[in-house]
């Protein structure tokens, strides 16, 4: 069982990453919540991992926090939910919102996640309500209100850039460069239109 990996991020996509650990490249499936927190390629990253063994394959699933991995494991315990759907569920809502929705039995919010219908949402609320009550999502994992707002803003900007024809990893890096620019505007609240415009300038220089 591979419980965690620390290595050089060689490739990242919204679906998976490749980590170079002492010369061995591990492909790890990740949710979007983890993808948004990844550093640039060729930087060091640590992921908490789950090893899924099948008769014909061995797959790794990775998470940026222990809380995220714990919720993933709880999702796997729900009847009818496998690793791929569990990753999709984690990608559908910020972790704190997902945990809150399950606790409250918010079927409408749960069923708004792509791939999750009313029946699956009901099973999530029924089977996990008590178990997930013990999960305490830390500020680092949840990101807090500011981080969630940034995550939404990044997601919207990246989506717009992808629709304009740019590859998702390039679009994501460009948006992050704008948000982290050390030009006196680091604490500025960017309007989405301005963020896209400035990101396009970054992309035009690459």
- From the list 35, 46, 48, the residue with the least C-alpha distance to 90 is 35
Kindly report, residue by residue over 50-78, the tens digit of the pLDDT.
Answer: 999 887 888 999 999 888 999 999 999 99
Domain range annotation of the chain: 4-63, 66-140, 144-204
Kindly report, residue by residue over 106-144, the tens digit of the pLDDT.
Answer: 999 999 998 899 999 999 999 998 888 777 665 444 444
pTM of the model: 0.66
Task: Please tell me if the domain spanning 4-63 has the same topology as the one spanning 66-140.
Answer: no
- From the list 118, 72, 121, the residue with the least C-alpha distance to 95 is 72
Chain-centroid distance of CA 166 in Å reads 20
As given in the structure block, the two tokens for residue 162 are 């992808």
Hey, what CATH class is 66-140 in? mainly alpha
User: What is the third-level CATH fold of 144-204?
Assistant: Helicase, Ruva Protein; domain 3 (1.10.8)
- Which percentage of the chain shows pLDDT scores above 90? 43
Pairing between β-strand 24-29 and β-strand 58-63 as defined by DSSP bridges: parallel
Q: Which long-range contacts (CB under 8 A, 24 or more apart) does 153-160 make?
A: 153/179, 153/190, 153/192, 153/195, 154/36, 154/179, 155/32, 155/36, 156/192, 157/192, 157/195, 157/196, 157/199, 160/192, 160/196
How many Å apart are CA 69 and CA 45, to the nearest integer?
Answer: 16
Pairing between β-strand 16-21 and β-strand 24-29 as defined by DSSP bridges: antiparallel
- From the list 72, 62, 64, the residue with the least C-alpha distance to 99 is 72
Q: Which of the four CATH numbers 3.40.50.300, 2.40.50.140, 3.40.47.10, 3.40.50.720 does domain 4-63 have?
A: 2.40.50.140
How many Å apart are CA 65 and CA 47, to the nearest integer?
Answer: 7
């Amino acid at each position: 069982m591979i419980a965690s990996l620390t290595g050089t991020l060689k490739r990242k996509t919204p679906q998976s990453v490749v980590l170079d650990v002492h010369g061995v490249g591990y492909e790890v499936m990740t949710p979007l919540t983890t993808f948004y927190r990844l550093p640039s390629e060729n930087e060091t990253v640590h992921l908490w991992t789950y090893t899924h063994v099948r008769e014909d394959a061995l797959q790794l699933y990775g998470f940026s926090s222990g809380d995220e991995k714990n919720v993933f494991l709880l999702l796997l315990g729900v009847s009818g939910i496998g690793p791929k759907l569990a990753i999709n569920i984690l990608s559908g809502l910020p972790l704190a919102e997902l945990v809150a929705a399950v606790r409250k039995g918010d079927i409408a919010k749960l069923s708004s996640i792509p791939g999750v219908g009313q029946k699956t949402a009901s099973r999530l609320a029924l089977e996990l309500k008590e178990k997930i009550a013990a999960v305490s999502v830390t500020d680092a994992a949840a990101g807090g209100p500011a981080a969630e707002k940034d995550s939404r803003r990044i997601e919207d900007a990246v989506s717009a850039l992808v629709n304009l024809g740019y590859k998702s990893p390039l679009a994501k890096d460009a948006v992050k460069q704008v948000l982290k620019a050390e030009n006196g505007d680091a604490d500025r609240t960017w309007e989405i239109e301005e963020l896209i415009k400035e990101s396009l300038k970054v992309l035009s220089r690459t």
